[in-house]
A and B are shown apart, each in its own frame.
Chain A
Amino acid sequence: MKENSSFKNKTFFWVLVFAAAVVICLCIYFLRPKERSDVALIYQDGELLYTIDLNKVTEDYEILLEREGSGNKVLVSKNSICMKDADCPDGVCVDHGELKDNSSPIVCLPNRVVIKFQTSGDEDVDVIAGKAQ
């Protein structure tokens, strides 16, 4: 009997610990910095492929990214960018919708594509991209 109550107490303790961890994580997530800018960057395999100023886009267009037989289709419009199509099985990047802020980049894990906003920390990267283009 006594052992059983201590078992219950310990279980209760761990439920509390995990619940607290969930609350803390949710707080961090919802209080994250929501910076955004006009310039979107598209990466694949950690390499910067495109630098797009979304403010200067006049007409919608699509970018096709191909990698080992599978592809992603990025839709670029004025002030918005989203993944229109992906042939990976889960399609998480398509469900993501348009790019909202810099701490929630669009990610396609199977094809290793990342779409994010350019922020102050990325200025070095931009110089290299300028040379490559």
Chain B
Amino acid sequence: MKTKKITICAILAALALIIFVLESLIPSLIPVPGIKLGLANVVTLFALYYLGPAYAALILVTRVVLGCLLTGQTAAFLYSLVGGALALLTAMLMKKIFKDSRKMWIVSVFSAAAHNLGQMAVALFLTGTWELIWYLPLLMVSGIITGALTGILAGLVFNRVKKAVNIEKNR
């Protein structure tokens, strides 16, 4: 069972990495620092529900480290890591409140908001310019919208995979 989990974990990490690299090729629509769709979080969220928090954290760290090296955005490493860690912690807490997997999108919205808060904190710390805080409302709006979208997507994938696995087991 453990080997199977590790294998799934590796596949998901590879998947997250591909999504991350592909997304980094799309130019941002809104010229505000730090706003993006965050499609790779679909994988993190899926892993949290399907494999548990420890595996989700492993996938997240793998994706952030390799993703920064692959896209050459080594400067973005700290933003991604702090944001991602906060997002995962929030998702873990929120999952305890909203247990139903149909409510995954609510968990995802809180998680995305936490991600952007973490990012903002790092940006404030590194640049030492408090005026950046005026971008926070925009980052929150983007977090709520992108969080809902990625959460809905992760929920759809999760329920389908669960169904498919059950069919496979009953054969």
Contacts and interface: CB of A to CB of B under 8 A. Distances in A.
Interface residues of B, number: 34
Contact of A21 (B75, B76, B140): B140
Interface in A105-133: 105, 107-112, 114, 116
A102 to B, nearest CB: 6
Interface stretch (A26-34, A49-57, A58-66, A73-81): A26-34
Interface string B45-62: 000000000000000000
Nearest to B133: A103
Interface string A1-27: 000000100110010001001100110
Interface stretch (B1-9, B23-31, B163-171): B23-31
A22 B145 contact: yes
B127 A43 contact: yes
Contacts of B148: 18
Given A92-B33, A109-B79, A46 B134 contact: no
Nearest to B35: A92
Nearest to B109: A18
Chain A facing B: main interface SS: mixed
Nearest to A121: B130
Nearest to A91: B27
A7 B137 CA distance: 29
A92 B131 contact: no
**Highest count of chain A CB atoms <10 Å: which of B79, B131, B138, B145:** B131
A112 B34 CA distance: 13
Given A43-B129, A92-B33, A109-B123, A26 B137 contact: yes
Interface of B: 24, 27-28, 31-34, 71-73, 75-76, 79, 100, 102-103, 106, 109, 123, 126-129, 131-132, 134-135, 137-138, 140-141, 144-145, 148
28 contacts: A7-B100, A10-B103, A18-B109, A18-B144, A21-B140, A21-B144, A22-B140, A25-B137, A25-B138, A26-B137, A29-B138, A46-B129, A89-B72, A90-B28, A92-B33, A93-B33, A102-B131, A103-B131, A103-B134, A105-B129, A107-B33, A107-B123, A107-B127, A109-B75, A110-B73, A110-B75, A112-B127, A114-B127
